Amino acid sequence: MDMLPVIAELSQKTPSKILLVVLDGVGGLPQQHGGPTELAAAHTPNLDALAKQSALGLLTPVYPGLAPGSGPGHLSLFGYDPFQYLVGRGALSAIGIGADFQDGDVGVRGNFATLDAQGLVVDRRAGRPSDAENVRVVSKLKAAISEIEGVRVSFYTESEHRFVVILRGAGLGEKVSDTDPQKTGVAPLPSHPHNAADAASAKTARVLNALTARIREVLHDEPQINGALFRGISEKPRFPSMAEVYKVRAACVASYPMYKGVASLVGMDVLPVEGVEDAPQGKVKALQAHWEQYDFFYLHFKKTDSTGEDGNFQEKAHKVELFDQLLPELLALKPDVLAITGDHSTPSVLKAHSWHPVPLLLHAPFLRNDPAQRFTEDEASKGSLGHLRGVELMPLLLAHAGKLQKYGA
């Protein structure tokens, strides 16, 4: 059931402020049985102190057993059922970078990759090149490829190994398969329409397959970035805004375009952030500078996810510690409701998103006694919030902020 119409009827404007912190991919697993997860291994005195004054629980971002992408994971946290409000990663990235993305276009998320002489994937992220290297290679593609099968092809840098392609032309569809095999040692997959009778999507698949081959030709002399993998093929969607549903003025504080895209899609204002993801102080400054202008803030930290994808247990724990050092500055803003959680788990032992629940911390008025002592998976399982689904988080935050009226007589 889509709860947004119900919440829209009950929501009310109040001056209380909500801060939702998303530590991307924060959930983890032990390196060996009985050992700590990345969260448990991290030294987090500020999170530990906050946990003792808060309520904790576990949260399944999308559905038990499903390892969600960042798009569905975030939409769920914002209260939008990802099985009803569908959107591909390509559209989110295109919106997030401010690409020329119009109704009828198809947005595609690309990964630069390293392929061997046989065309097998050696590295799905081409060694995580710098943004400057990404710009150089994208410029090379722009000069060589502008049209395929009568379809205009536009390239955009996103960040590191990520880029965006916008396809524009008559008769395109979005219901096609990805070319990213999501593993190494195999060739990129051919794209195909989900339904062979869907002529529009069949055209998009042909264009993507031709584009894959053409990119390989153009980049044949590159030592590391010599191929491309595509996923998240999507047209531009339209969703009800958070202002309409929740009666809040919402702001996004994030660095990576995809997360700005999903925030924009639900009507958040994307605030300017100085610096790079590895220096998150710029995010705190953006939050401080705009604190009086909004009543809902979404604050995103990426590196807990990327270090997990790289399989670096110690570095992921270190990124949690860096957030812990920033926490006093967030608390100094005195949000009425503070939630800290993740959009999915990314255990370093798996080097990928997983289906495991993530911990949820809620610091707010009117909490019950809670036995949890730390912001870890094991401690969260003891908490008074129990086990929630991602879409159940926003009503909980609104209720604790006094923004929901009573339901029914």
User: Which pLDDT does position 398 carry in this prediction?
Assistant: 98
How does residue 80 score in pLDDT terms, banded at 50, 70 and 90? Answer: very high
Listed residues 206, 234, 262: the one ending a domain: 234
Same domain, 96 and 179: yes
Give the number of domains in the chain. 2
Distance, CA of 362 to CA of 341 (rounded, Å): 9
Give the per-residue pLDDT at 36. Answer: 97
Quick: pLDDT tens for 149-179: 999 999 999 989 999 999 999 999 999 999 9
- Write out pLDDT tens, residues 178-231: 999 999 999 999 999 999 999 999 999 999 999 999 999 999 999 999 999 999
Averaged confidence pLDDT in the chain = 95
Domain range spanning residue 59?
4-85+239-400
Query: Which of 205, 234, 263 finishes a domain?
Result: 234
CA distances from 294 to 9, 17, 42, 242, 252 (A): 21, 8, 32, 12, 10
Q: Is the same domain home to 123 and 30?
A: no
Regarding whether 183 and 96 lie in a shared domain, the answer is yes
Phi and psi at residue 86, to the nearest 5° = -90, 140
Mark whether 8 and 99 lie in a shared domain: no
Q: What single-letter DSSP state applies at residue 320?
A: H
The CATH number of the domain where 174 resides is what? 3.30.70
CB atoms < 10 A from the CB of 125, how many? 18
Inside any domain, residue 409: no
The span from the CA of 344 to the CA of 8, in Å, is: 26
For residue 193, the Cα-to-chain-centroid distance in whole angstroms is 26
Question: Do residues 215 and 270 both lie within one domain?
Answer: no
Handedness of CA 245, 98, 255, 59 (dihedral sign): positive
Do 207 and 307 fall into the same domain? Answer: no
Q: What is the pLDDT at residue 43? A: 98
